[in-house]
Amino acid sequence: MAISDIRVVRKPMGFPNKSIVVIRGGGDIATGVVQKFRRSGLKVLILETAKPTAIRRTVSLCEAVYDEHATVEDISCERISTLADMDGCHARGMVPLIVDPDGECIRRLKPAAVIDAIIAKKNTGTKKDMATVTIGLGPGFNAGEDVHAVIETNRGHDLGRLILQGRALADTGVPGEIGGKSGERVVHAPAAGEVRNRRDIGEIVEKGEKICEISGKTVTSPFRGVLRGLIREGLPVPVGMKIADVDPRLDVDCRTISDKARCIGGAALEAFLFLSKKQNQGERL
């Protein structure tokens, strides 16, 4: 038999080509998840709130809520008004985003997976019966009860670990250490009001240098570093809300997905494929 006569039989991957993966949230961690799924050939739909408050805006696809479009690395996102626009968006090679904080469109879509990437440190409404596979990122979810799997999001040895029974580590309230800095990396609003920015993401700021103002109160940098995150200009914020993030590493790239987001994104993709395989083999999730 000639080599040209041999037929190559491709086995199905275990999920339909037209399956939709719904990702709740479009912040920096969620964007890392979107990239992994999109590069793997899966169609993704992002659900967001009407006014996202992402800090690391240059690596967050949720900015499409305000600007209609957003691009992070090789992933471009487009805001859509109705689900009828979703297929056209996919056909153009874009990731669609729709404002739907309550996940009302999930029932209509019957997606292959729902991934809660809101990182709210609590479950804001994701349920196991929303999709064939449901995954929660970080604290607030219980694998085996409200979702099928939980991904550990705390920095350290277990970052990205799949949890199939139980919970992720509880929220410590203290950001992970980077460059010798931990809690001081995060800047909070000293007052309620609208944010007026004085510096831009990616700029090096000195200790005590003004980065924004809220209700006449000056917000300054806690140390010398790169302004890695800064909340969107004009947004109203409550007192104590996280509004900025300073990174002590002066060579950090503020326009590429972080190591943490890539790790969690890869773990979410692993969880989806692993659980889909188990279900295809007839196992109960």
Average pLDDT of span 10-25 = 66
Give the whole-angstrom CA distance, residue 246 versus residue 202. 10
Of the pLDDT bands very low, low, confident and very high (cuts 50, 70, 90), residue 17 is very low
* Three-state secondary structure of 129-166: HHCCEEEEECCCCCECCCECEEECCCCCCCCCCEECCE
The whole-model pTM stands at 0.91
Is residue 202 packed enough to be buried (19+ CB in 10 Å), middle (13-18) or exposed (0-12)? middle
Using the predicted structure, report yes or no on whether residue 184 has a pLDDT greater than 60: yes
> Counting every residue, how long is the chain?
285
Question: Which range has the worst mean pLDDT, 21-35, 111-125, 173-187, 192-206?
Answer: 173-187
Name residue 116's beta-bridge partners: 24, 136
pLDDT of amino acid 279: 87
Determine the pLDDT at residue 18.
53
Average pLDDT for 223-232:
97
| pLDDT score, position 171 | 84
Tokens of 30: 């969620």
Residue 257, number of CB atoms within 10 A of its CB: 23
Structurally, at CATH architecture level, domain 183-247 sits in Beta Barrel (2.40)
Per DSSP, 178 falls in state B
- The pLDDT confidence band at residue 1, using thresholds 50, 70 and 90, is very low
The residue-averaged pLDDT of 139-160 equals: 96
Helix, strand, or coil here: 104? coil
Would you say residue 9 has pLDDT above 70?
no
* Farthest CA pair distance, the chain: 82
pLDDT tens digits, one per residue of 233-277: 999 999 999 999 999 999 999 999 999 999 999 999 999 999 999
Domain boundaries, the chain: 20-169+259-280, 183-247
36 contacts 269 by C-beta, under 8 angstroms: yes
d(CA 87, CA 44): 11
CATH number for the domain running over 20-169+259-280: 3.40.50
Q: pLDDT tier at 143 (50, 70, 90 boundaries)?
A: very high
The answer, yes or no, to whether residue 41 has pLDDT greater than 50, is: yes
pLDDT at res. 4: 40
Name, in order, each residue with C-beta under 8 angstroms of 39's C-beta and a sequence gap of 6 or more.
Answer: 74
Q: How confident is the model at residue 2 (pLDDT cuts 50, 70, 90)?
A: very low
Distant-in-sequence, close-in-space partners of 283: CB < 8 Å, separation ≥ 6: none
Does residue 225 contact residue 201 with C-beta atoms inside 8 Å? no
